[in-house]
Amino acid sequence: MSKSAESGRCSWPIAFTLLGLIIAAVVIIVFLRLESWPARTAAQGTTELERLGRDLRSAFIDVAHLQPRITINNRVYLEQSIPTSELVILSRRIEVEHELLHSWAGSAKRVKLHGTFTVKAGFDLRQDLAVDIRPDEIVVQLPHAQLLGVEQERVDVLAFENGFWNRISANDVQNELSILPQLAREKAAESNLPSEAEAALQKQLHERIHTPQPLKLVFTSAGKSNQ
């Protein structure tokens, strides 16, 4: 028998053995990849959510100058940090009038004032503010907007008429001056200024934040006007 025939018979078993080893190695590699795929997918998903959390935090700093608490899949990722206790969203000029007319023993006195005020609406950030990032949605939780302050711009005296013996006192003037900001606050509340502030914040966030998940704002507590 020739040497070439003998070498041919020896090379085939070796070739089959190598082929078997290669196939086994491929099967093991595929098995390990499939076994680790959920963990790798979860890690990639968490990394993406964390990146989104950092982007959201930056957006809140730009829009509202505040840093909310960020949670990702119910795990706290970043704690809340509030550099200011209030966030003013809207300011509106309000004009009101009030008149005192008092008669005594046939003598009448009259005081009529016109007040111009700036009323501010926004959010009390001493309450909880949080962003919960989930794979299917992003939930922003914050308190309802409220009236944060009433600032007097000017007061005009429209009438100041003393009776012959029924004179205007300092208390009369002081009482009238104290009524004007209350009227301005009531007028602002009737005009739904807090609701407009909520809508304005929601619009700003939607314009600033672009995420694959829907962005949902949840207002968790009833706003109360400051006294």
Burial 169-178 (b: 16+ CB within 10 A, else e): eeeeeeebee
Task: Judge if pTM exceeds 0.95.
Answer: no
3-class secondary-structure state, position 43? helix
Q: Which residue from 98, 95, 96 is spatially nearest to 172, judged by alpha carbons? A: 98
Q: Which residue from 86, 88, 89, 90 is spatially nearest to 125, judged by alpha carbons? A: 86
Average pLDDT over residues 131-137: 81
Which has the higher per-residue pLDDT, 59 or 200? 200
149-201 residue pLDDT tens: 899 999 999 999 998 888 999 999 999 999 999 999 999 989 889 999 889 88
83-119 residue pLDDT tens: 556 778 889 999 999 999 999 888 899 999 999 999 9
Query: Can you state the angle between helices 3-64 and 193-208, rounded to 10 degrees?
Result: 150
Q: Which residue from 192, 209, 197 is spatially nearest to 68, judged by alpha carbons? A: 209
Average pLDDT, the chain: 76
* DSSP per-residue string spanning 9-25: HHHHHHHHHHHHHHHHH
Q: Which residue from 150, 147, 139, 149 is spatially nearest to 202, judged by alpha carbons? A: 139
Paired tokens of 28: 């093991």
Kindly list the domain boundaries of the chain, sorted by start residue. 53-219
